[in-house]
Amino acid sequence: VSEGIERFGHGGDVWTAELVLGVPKEQLLDFSANINPLGPPASMRAAIRENLARITAYPDPKSRELKTVLARKLALGVDHLLIGNGAAEILYGIMRALRPQKVGLLQPCFSEYAEAASVVDAEFVTVFAKPEHGFAPPIDELVAACEETDLFVIGHPNNPNGRLLPLAGLVQMADALQRRGSYLLVDEAFYDFVPNAGTLLEQLDEWPNVILLRSLTKFYSIPGLRLGYAVARPELIRRIERELAPWGVNALAQAAGMAGLFDEEFERATLAWLREERPFVLQGLKNIPGVQPFEGEVNFVLFRCETPELQKWLGQRGILIRSCAAYPGLGSDYYRVAVRSREDNLRLLAAIAQAVEEV
């Protein structure tokens, strides 16, 4: 893995891909990062242009205007919100604030949960979602693991398999953790793509031990600008905020975030695109002999394929997909692809079909 395209743990690393594949990064069609192909919305691009002059001053250290807009949208008080330089920054702040000794993870999951936990030298309690069950989260095992952790981190929907838990399962986890004075962090970075996913947001006041983490980088296609937020009870928000350096959220990100949150048309267009394209990609993968996609709910698809070195074969032909070899519980025959435009998806499916036939 240290030699692979994901040597720094993530998709979307076209710099390393260029080195490994020998293909200029500008020529790679990137299915390895799960970014909305419709964005960024025109409203956000305009906000960035209009606010360019603001970079000569410090940004609002508390992102107050953005928080006000977000609080209105989520129907909660501004004191329940923390804005960060991407969800990733807040994740590290949470680990420093809570200093958990034992962190529960449902593997396979986003690698930064473990990376961030290792900064505070945490040990892990690991539950596995299994391919033979389509990676469905095993709720009883999750609740049992909560009984022995200080913090459980769960992706909802989970990356890389796009799976969800019933809301009742999240409640059971929150309850088991609360009874022992422990915390639940639900990473909802992809929540906007699945707005009917079920969330503890509306019942947050009952759960002083729950933190929800969200990102604007995927849905609004601004991973290079960075913007994320956390939602929790005010006491907890204040504890996490103390861990973050001031001015972490730059002026352009704050302005873009406000514009994006108002843009309901973009939201509708994205959900309409995903309703068409996700089943299209899933079915297209199913139709290729030897390719086994897993059902999920979100803007990416996990699949299994035994064609050796599929990532390299596709990469040399200008299509970058995510190898899942390094995820605990997966292996070198697992891959993840983002859902993109119809044209791009057709190109991906044709290339995979060709690889399976020729290699």
Residue whose beta carbon is closest to ligand PLP: 86
17, 311 Cβ separation under 8 angstroms: no
* Stretch of 41-49, 53-61, 128-136, 215-223 lying at the interface with ligand PLP (CB under 6 A): 215-223
- Count Cα neighbours of 263 within 13 Å in the Cβ-side half-sphere: 25
Q: Is residue 215 part of the contact set for ligand PLP (CB under 6 A)? A: yes
Q: Is residue 87 part of the contact set for ligand PLP (CB under 6 A)? A: yes
**Single residue of 88, 244, 319, 330 touching ligand PLP by CB under 6 A:** 88
Binders in 221-250 for ligand PLP, by CB under 6 A: 223, 228
Nearer to ligand PLP, 37 or 223 (CB): 223
Nearer to ligand PLP, 208 or 247 (CB): 247
**Smallest distance from ligand PLP to CB 15, Å:** 16
* Stretch of 85-93, 244-252, 328-336, 349-357 lying at the interface with ligand PLP (CB under 6 A): 85-93
* Stretch of 61-69, 84-92, 118-126, 161-169 lying at the interface with ligand PLP (CB under 6 A): 84-92
**Smallest distance from ligand PLP to CB 105, Å:** 12
Question: Before 157, cis peptide (omega within 30)?
Answer: yes
Name the strand (E) or helix (H) holding 270.
helix 264-286
Q: Is residue 110 part of the contact set for ligand PLP (CB under 6 A)? A: yes
**Smallest distance from ligand PLP to CB 34, Å:** 7
In a 10 Å sphere around its CB, with 0-12 CB exposed, 13-18 middle and 19+ buried, how is residue 264 labelled?
Answer: exposed
In a 10 Å sphere around its CB, with 0-12 CB exposed, 13-18 middle and 19+ buried, how is residue 76 labelled?
Answer: middle
| Tokens linked to 37 | 């192909």
The rounded distance, in Å, linking the Cα atoms of 274 and 218 is 13
| Tokens linked to 47 | 């906000």
Read off the DSSP letter of residue 201. Answer: G
**Single residue of 155, 169, 293, 315 touching ligand PLP by CB under 6 A:** 155
Q: Is residue 93 part of the contact set for ligand PLP (CB under 6 A)? A: no
Beta bridge partners of 186: 154, 212
**Single residue of 217, 299, 307, 345 touching ligand PLP by CB under 6 A:** 217
**Smallest distance from ligand PLP to CB 154, Å:** 10
- CB neighbour list of residue 186: distance below 8 Å, 6 or more residues apart: 154, 156, 170, 199, 200, 210, 211, 212, 213
Beta bridge partners of 184: 152, 210
In 3-state terms, what secondary structure has residue 219? coil
Residues in contact with ligand PLP, total (CB under 6 A)? 12
Q: Is residue 108 part of the contact set for ligand PLP (CB under 6 A)? A: no
The values of phi and psi at residue 334, to 5°, are: -110, 140
* Stretch of 68-76, 82-90, 125-133, 343-351 lying at the interface with ligand PLP (CB under 6 A): 82-90
**Single residue of 36, 51, 149, 159 touching ligand PLP by CB under 6 A:** 159
* Stretch of 81-89, 129-137, 292-300, 325-333 lying at the interface with ligand PLP (CB under 6 A): 81-89
**Smallest distance from ligand PLP to CB 85, Å:** 8
Q: Could you tell me how far CA 301 lies from the centroid of its own chain? A: 13
Inter-CA distances, 84 with 11, 257, 259, Å: 21, 11, 17
Q: Is residue 260 part of the contact set for ligand PLP (CB under 6 A)? A: no
Q: What angle (nearest 5°) sits at the alpha carbon of residue 279, between those of residues 354 and 310?
A: 30
The rounded distance, in Å, linking the Cα atoms of 15 and 17 is 5
| Residue span 111-150 as binding mask against ligand PLP, x where in contact by CB under 6 A, dash where not | ----------------------------------------
The rounded distance, in Å, linking the Cα atoms of 198 and 185 is 15
**Smallest distance from ligand PLP to CB 289, Å:** 30
Q: Is residue 189 part of the contact set for ligand PLP (CB under 6 A)? A: yes
Which residues of this chain interact with ligand PLP, rule CB under 6 A? 86-88, 110, 155, 159, 187, 189, 215, 217, 223, 228
